[in-house]
Amino acid sequence: MTAPRHYLQFKDFSREDYAHVFARARWIKDKFKRYEPYHPLFDRTLVMIFEKASTRTRLSFEAGMHQLGGSAIYLNTRDSQLGRGEPVEDAAQVISRMSDIVMIRTFEQEIIERFAANSRVPVINGLTNEYHPCQILADIFTFIEHRGSIQGKTVAWVGDSNNMCNTWLQAAEVLDFKVHVSTPPGYEVEPERAGLHGTGHFAEFADPIEACRGADLVTTDVWTSMGFEAENEARMKAFADWCVDAEMMAAAKPEVLFMHCLPAHRGEEVTAEVIDGPQSVVWDEAENRLHVQKALMEYLVLGKVED
Ligand code: CP
Ligand code: NVA
């Protein structure tokens, strides 16, 4: 049996892989919008394992698998043996003998890597403490839909150097664009944790307005990610000046877009004026999770399908 291909972090795919997946996402989305059935994964089963809460990720994977002709099974740690100490390696052996593809949302990246090492089928990262590659896949697809290729463009990241930020930084190295990061002191990017090769695709700015200057895209995320709730009070104080507002957006290019993976907290990491304003494409981003993940599942299960 040949080892399956996994999608555990953004750099697991090459620029050529992304060109294919984005083209398939475009084709699959257009077909879906015309109400034309497309069932390449007929009779296939997706298992989704959630150790953290989710609205978009569960919905987009579950609906996406049904739309591709297969079925999806939801497991969480509260009412499965996963929360009662069964080794992740054993769970991977069992789950991957009964399914065709697995999606996991969990805590440390190491957990998903151990699962994948013992899985007979492809494993997709649906968010870990370190990375959120499916979201950046959707975000870059959304950028391309609105503005064309992201190569050579500048993305401003304002806020926490979390799983979203790390994944943007990896994407910049793979797809050749720049990320300007501004975090409060003490919350800076850790290049090793982000899994970077140090190719000079990111720069750090103490002042978030300077990070946004000339940017093609401004993006942010919650100040406190899932799993870090104990730090919430300290973070609310530390991040107070890292709220994306109209002044930051005005420093960027006139045609700048605003993105947020959601869920958002208006008045914390972004003002209502910005997230609900004309530069915001957050609803397209959320919808595109569905289309890009359908293309991703098709690619991982069937390989390179052409029209
Ligand atoms: N953006 C995102 O992954 O949303 P959920 O937490 O709702 O899945
Ligand atoms: N950084 C956030 C993203 C949620 C989709 C978190 O990990 O909670």
Q: Is 235 a catalytic residue?
A: no
CA 59, 60, 66, 70 torsion-angle sign = negative
CATH, domain range 135-283: 3.40.50.1370
Q: How much is the pLDDT for 81?
A: 86
| Amino acid symbol at 171 | A
Among the listed residues 299, 196, 224, 212, the one whose alpha carbon sits nearest the alpha carbon of residue 257: 212
Would 10-132+286-302 and 135-283 be classified into the same CATH topology?
yes
Residues with CB under 6 A from ligand 1: 54-57, 127, 135, 261-262
Cα 120 from Cα 138, distance rounded (Å): 26
- Give me the CATH topology for the region 10-132+286-302: Rossmann fold (3.40.50)
Condensed to tens digits (0 to 9), the pLDDT of residues 63-109 reads 999 999 999 999 998 888 888 889 999 999 999 999 999 999 999 99
| pLDDT tens digits along 174-222 | 999 999 999 999 999 999 999 999 999 999 999 999 999 999 999 999 9
Q: What token pair was written down for 99?
A: 């399914």
Positive or negative torsion for Cα 255, 256, 261, 265? negative
Instruction: State yes or no: is 221 an active-site residue.
Output: yes
**What are the residue boundaries of the structural domains of the chain, listed by start?**
10-132+286-302, 135-283
Q: Kindly give the distance from the C-alpha atom of residue 109 to the centroid of ligand 2, in angstroms, as a whole number.
A: 14
Assessment of whether the complete model's pTM goes beyond 0.95: yes
Q: Is 100 a catalytic residue?
A: no
pLDDT digits (tens, 9 = 90+) for 113-150: 999 999 999 999 999 999 999 999 999 999 999 999 99
Atom number in ligand 2 closest to CA 160: 1
